[in-house]
Amino acid sequence: MRNSLSSTRVPAYRALLAALFCSLLCLPSVTLGALPVPADGSPVLRIQGSNTVGAKLAPLLIAGLFDQQGLSDIRIAPTGEENEQRVTGRGPGGQLVTALVAAHGSSTGFVGLKDATADIAASSRPIKESEVRALASLGDLKSSAAEQVIAIDGLAIIVNPANPLPRLDTETLARLFSGEIANWTEVGGPDQPVRIHARDDNSGTYDTFKELVLAPHGKKLASGASRYESNDQLSATVAGDLGAIGFVGYASVGRARALPIADGQSQAMAPTPAMIATEDYPLSRRLFLYAPPSGQSAWARALIEFAQSDAGQALVPRSGYIAQQVEAIRLPSQPDMPMAYRQLANEASRLTVNFRFEEGSAVLDNKAQRDLQRLAAYLAAHDKLQERAVLVGFGDAKANPQRASLLSRLRAMTVRRELTKLGITVKDINGLGDDLPVASNDGGSGRIKNRRVEVWVY
């Protein structure tokens, strides 16, 4: 008896594996007949929350779901209320199917869940512990059944295109947005007063900016800052003012110029698709949908399933955000890289997926569980299931660099163990401790970014 598959059977075997992994990730669709359509024409879906998610991405995902369910004459149109849209389609019998998206800020989505005016909350930040407690009657909103990462975004720091400033670090950013730096000449810019533009208090974009920029440096937003409900409106204003600075989601940079940003000891990085996809860009963030795990409507379940599928993720770039499909990228070798890492850069490709961990934890989060399936599907489709992948772990130094080195390797071993369960054998693992930080170790969010496992393939 032969111990290996014959050469004629190998391609079919690999195709079967790829289909198997895809079946784990690409959840089955729901036929329109299985989804209730109210006879009175009331909405089948109501999404409230983030302007970042709701302005473009959520309506596109709903339209994609409507198309998947066989609806025709699908339209996305304003409702007449600012930052609100209606998505409509016609069923096979001509019945009108409607969904509403109200994009007034992440916190409003969780209020909508609480008062039952929303089926899904869209958020550009993770749910807060206070919100989890307030919504406990609906189930655990941090569970894998409730929390869905649907795309990756980068918080872009934007200035007028004529502003010659080459880059900024987060400490200087905090001083600019707090009003401590009043003229651009203080940081090497033009002789112009600094005019600050920021999202409003309901915005998850503003919450993210506070968490990643202002709070770690003990600053508060200047009281005279101009505030906006809309990313696009803010960006258009900054693009027309030489003294302006603001922050928006990556998709809303528009005619403004996005500055490369450094955090702590990290190198300055521009918000490029590759650096946002890996979440290495210091101001990268995840975009979420939250649906109550108890009492979740059939349409809400269907939208979540569609958003996580290949078809749904294919719509994400049309909104200007970064999808979660795994891709290979080449990184240039740099002299300051550790020798083992430099060799990888010379010989292998890095994949656009990172696994990250909370302090003292080796438990993969909700996004990582999905990413394991995406990674497995990619490796199967590219004939890299056996001895072709390398896992590289990193950590934050804090007070003990030796502990960081050990934990970085242990976290790589955690990912290897999970891949082994899926029939994947990695070529090697490595732990590089606190080398190559992508964010500052002074704050909790920065340390989480540095506690990562990268995947490289030969």
Superfamily (CATH H level) for 153-275: Periplasmic binding protein-like II (3.40.190.10)
Token couple for 116: 């039952």
CB 278 within 8 A of CB 455: no
pLDDT of 65-81, one tens digit each? Answer: 999 999 999 999 999 99
| Bridge partners, residue 245, by sequence | 159, 196
Q: CB neighbours of 130 closer than 8 A, spacing ≥ 6?
A: none
Helix (H) and strand (E) counts in the chain: 15, 18
Give residue 454's pLDDT: 94
> Any long-range contacts for 71-74 (C-beta under 8 Å, 24+ apart)?
71/32, 71/97
Do 32-150+286-319 and 326-457 have matching folds? no
Helix (H) / strand (E) containing 19:
helix 10-25
- Write down the CATH superfamily of domain 326-457: OmpA-like domain (3.30.1330.60)
Tokens describing residue 432: 């590089």
**Shortest CA distance to 232 belongs to which of 360, 412, 17, 52?**
52
State the CB neighbour count (10 A cutoff) for residue 237. Answer: 16
**CB 132, CB 141: distance < 8 Å:** yes
CATH of domain 32-150+286-319: 3.40.190.10
3-state helix, strand, coil in the chain (%, to 5): 35, 20, 40
Give CA torsion, residues 111, 116, 118, 119, to 10 deg: 120
User: Residue 199: CA atoms inside 13 Å, Cβ hemisphere, count?
Assistant: 31
Lowest average pLDDT, out of 32-46, 103-117, 382-396, goes to 32-46
In tens, the pLDDT along 403-452 reads 667 888 888 999 999 999 999 999 999 888 766 655 444 444 444 456 78
C-alpha distances in Å from residue 43, one per residue of 55, 61, 92, 97, 300? 18, 16, 17, 7, 12
Tens of pLDDT, residue by residue over 36-59, are 898 888 999 999 999 999 999 999
Report whether 96 contacts 81 (CB < 8 A).
no
What's the token pair of residue 319? 């909104």
Helix or strand holding residue 96 (H, E): strand 96-103
Q: What does the alpha-carbon distance between residue 109 and residue 172 come to, in Å, rounded to a whole number? A: 32
pLDDT of 32 over the 50 cut: yes
Domain ranges of the chain: 32-150+286-319, 153-275, 326-457
Q: How confident is the model at residue 33 (pLDDT cuts 50, 70, 90)?
A: low
